């Protein structure tokens, strides 16, 4: 974290700057509720050791949401992620899109177009800082923060905010087959630049 000497990037975004006497805002993006809450708990414990307090915004967590403080109530990101998952119901063993009336010729739209849909959903989240936190926490799947930070029209805004990526599933989970080469090549470039950028991968 900025000022602590213990991190590769500074916290910037929702507030006026990296001050250790205020509460920082972290948006946790992903569908898996237990995973997101485990991340939040671990991150808060680490942050408290250097005098930082976090407010966590849970964006999209609908899977196994019962009994968690983030709840199962609707929000725009949950709706987008649930719609995305629903488009996989007819997928075959090679990752091809099938049986989807919302996708032309049975395949996904361009990654940029789909990314803009996710960005719009985040901007419509009930918390006004969801799309403009001090920190993005990208949990479980690799796909969603890649879309937001590397393919959205306003990716310059999203990539300006530091992000901590904690991947918990296979790399191509929920990734259309037609995007595999594009995502692999871009992720390699992204990974190689992470020491000088705003992304930290775990």
Higher pLDDT, 105 or 161: 161
pLDDT at residue 21, rounded to an integer:
56
Higher pLDDT, 90 or 28: 28
**pTM of the predicted protein model:** 0.81
Please give the full DSSP string across 89-143, using - where no structure is assigned: TT--TT----S-TTSGGGS---HHHHHHHHHHHHHTSSSTTTTS-SEEEEEE-SH
pLDDT at residue 102, rounded to an integer:
39
Phi, psi at residue 187, to the nearest 5°? Answer: -65, -35
pLDDT at residue 88, rounded to an integer:
63
pLDDT at residue 89, rounded to an integer:
55
| pLDDT > 90? residue 19 | no
Q: 55-96, pLDDT tens digit by residue?
A: 999 999 999 999 999 999 999 999 999 988 877 655 444 444
Round to whole Å and give the CA distance between 161 and 25: 11
Q: How many Å is the maximal CA-CA distance in the chain?
A: 53
Q: 137-179, pLDDT tens digit by residue?
A: 998 899 999 999 999 999 999 999 999 999 888 898 888 888 9
């Amino acid at each position: 974290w900025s000022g602590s000497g213990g991190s590769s990037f500074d916290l910037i975004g929702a507030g006026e700057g990296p001050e250790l006497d205020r509460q920082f805002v972290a948006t946790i993006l992903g569908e898996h509720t237990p995973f997101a809450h485990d991340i939040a708990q671990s991150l808060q414990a680490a942050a408290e050791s250097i005098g930082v307090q976090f407010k966590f915004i849970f964006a999209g967590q609908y899977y196994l949401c019962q009994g968690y403080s983030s709840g199962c109530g609707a929000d725009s990101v949950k709706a987008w992620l649930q719609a995305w998952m629903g488009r996989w119901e007819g997928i075959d063993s090679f990752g091809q899109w099938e049986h989807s009336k919302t996708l032309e010729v049975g395949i996904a739209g361009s990654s940029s177009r789909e990314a803009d849909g996710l960005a719009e959903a985040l901007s419509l989240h009930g918390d006004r800082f969801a799309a403009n936190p001090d920190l993005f926490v990208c949990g479980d799947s690799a796909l969603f923060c890649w879309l937001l930070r590397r393919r959205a029209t306003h990716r310059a805004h999203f990539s300006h905010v530091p992000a901590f990526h904690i991947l918990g599933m296979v790399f191509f989970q929920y990734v259309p087959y037609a995007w595999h080469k594009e995502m692999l090549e871009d992720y390699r470039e992204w990974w190689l630049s992470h020491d000088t950028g705003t992304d930290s991968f775990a």
